[in-house]
Structure 1
Amino acid sequence: MKQLFIKQKVFSIGEKFTVKDQDENDAYYVEGSFLKFPKTFSIMDTTGNEIAKITKKILSFLPKFFVEVNGQEVLTIKKEFSFFKARYSIDAAGIEVNGNWWDMNFEVVQHGEVVGSVNKEWFSWGDSYKLEIINEDMEEVMLALVVAIDCVKDDESNAAGNFTAST
């Protein structure tokens, strides 16, 4: 089993952060587009090769995010119409997310088999997540999934802030 740790820097203007392995070595780099449309996040290995990309669809009635790993679209996260609490769905061929993915405590299941889990680390400065990867073939997909969910959460909180600021 492999472990990865994501600790986002609080107040990071350029939206860059590093993913560490269990030995605290750099494993991946995540970089968000700054003031660009559509909004994207790139995940790169330590040699600088892009292994995954999260893109927010623009000109959509409800927010939608596309996740590509190694040039292949592997999943989509989309907001569903709801009057009260925000609801999102994750569409991925053969992949299920079981648990509370909004609070970052969930398992990732592929074809009925648990391939990994994600847990939010409490009592830390900023958001920190621990990824436990059972099937190491799913490492890049799991990492992209966590970054995409965090991107959706950030987008939702920004939308809520803009709504309350304008009312």
Structure 2
Amino acid sequence: MNQLYIKQKVFSLSGKFTVKDQQENDKYYVEGSFMQIPKTFSIMNTARDEVALITKKVFSLLPKFFVEVNGQEVLTIKKEFSFFKARYTIDAAGIEVHGNWWDMDFQVLQQGQIIGEVSKEWFSWGDSYKVQIIDEEMETIVIALVVAIDCVKADEAAVSSSAST
């Protein structure tokens, strides 16, 4: 079982941050596109090879995000139409998310087996998440899922703040 930590930089306009292991060694690098359409987040290993890509669909009535791991689309996060509270669904073959993923406190399951657990670290500067990887073969998918959910949350926050001004 691996334990990883995602800590975003609060004032990073481009969305660059790292995923670290328990010894605080860099494990993955995440870089968001800045002022580019479509908005993407690239997840790279320590050799700087891209292992996952998150892309926001550009022309869509409701926001939709695609997650690719090793060149294969593995899941989609899309906003559902609702009047009061934002509601999203995660479509993935055999992968489910149980818990409160909006508050970053959830389990990732594949065919009913827990492959990862995510919890938000409170009292930290910026967003920090602890990610426990139970099935090490699924590590990249779990990390991509966490980054994608965080991307969806940031997108929703940006829409909410622009709508209120």
TM-score by length of 1: 0.98
Q: Residue in 1 aligned with 2:57?
A: 57
CA distance in 2, matches of 1:13, 1:111: 37
Q: Residue in 1 aligned with 2:43?
A: 43
The runs of at least 4 aligned residues of structure 1 exceeding 2 Å deviation read: none
Does residue 94 (structure 1) correspond to residue 101 (structure 2)? The answer is no
Q: Residue in 2 aligned with 1:20?
A: 20
Identity across the alignment (%)? 71
Q: Residue in 2 aligned with 1:147?
A: 147
Deviation at 1:15, TM superposition (A): 1.2
CA distance in 1, matches of 2:97, 2:65: 16
Deviation at 1:7, TM superposition (A): 0.4
CA distance in 1, matches of 2:130, 2:101: 13
CA distance in 1, matches of 2:72, 2:85: 32
CA distance in 2, matches of 1:107, 1:92: 14
Per-residue CA distance 1:39-73 (angstroms, 9 max, x = gap): 00000001110000000001100000000000000
Deviation at 1:124, TM superposition (A): 0.5
Deviation at 1:130, TM superposition (A): 0.4
Deviation at 1:13, TM superposition (A): 1.8
Q: What is the aligned residue count?
A: 165
CA distance in 2, matches of 1:112, 1:151: 26
CA distance in 2, matches of 1:129, 1:69: 20
Q: Residue in 2 aligned with 1:131?
A: 131
Q: Residue in 1 aligned with 2:66?
A: 66
Does residue 2 (structure 1) correspond to residue 5 (structure 2)? The answer is no
Q: Can you give the 5+ residue segments of structure 2 that lack an aligned partner in the other structure? A: none
CA distance in 1, matches of 2:67, 2:123: 29
Structure-to-structure mapping, 1:108-123, within 5 angstroms: 108-123=108-123
CA distance in 2, matches of 1:112, 1:142: 15
Q: Secondary structure at the match of 1:10?
A: coil
Q: Secondary structure at the match of 1:7?
A: strand
Deviation at 1:116, TM superposition (A): 1.0
CA distance in 2, matches of 1:112, 1:11: 38
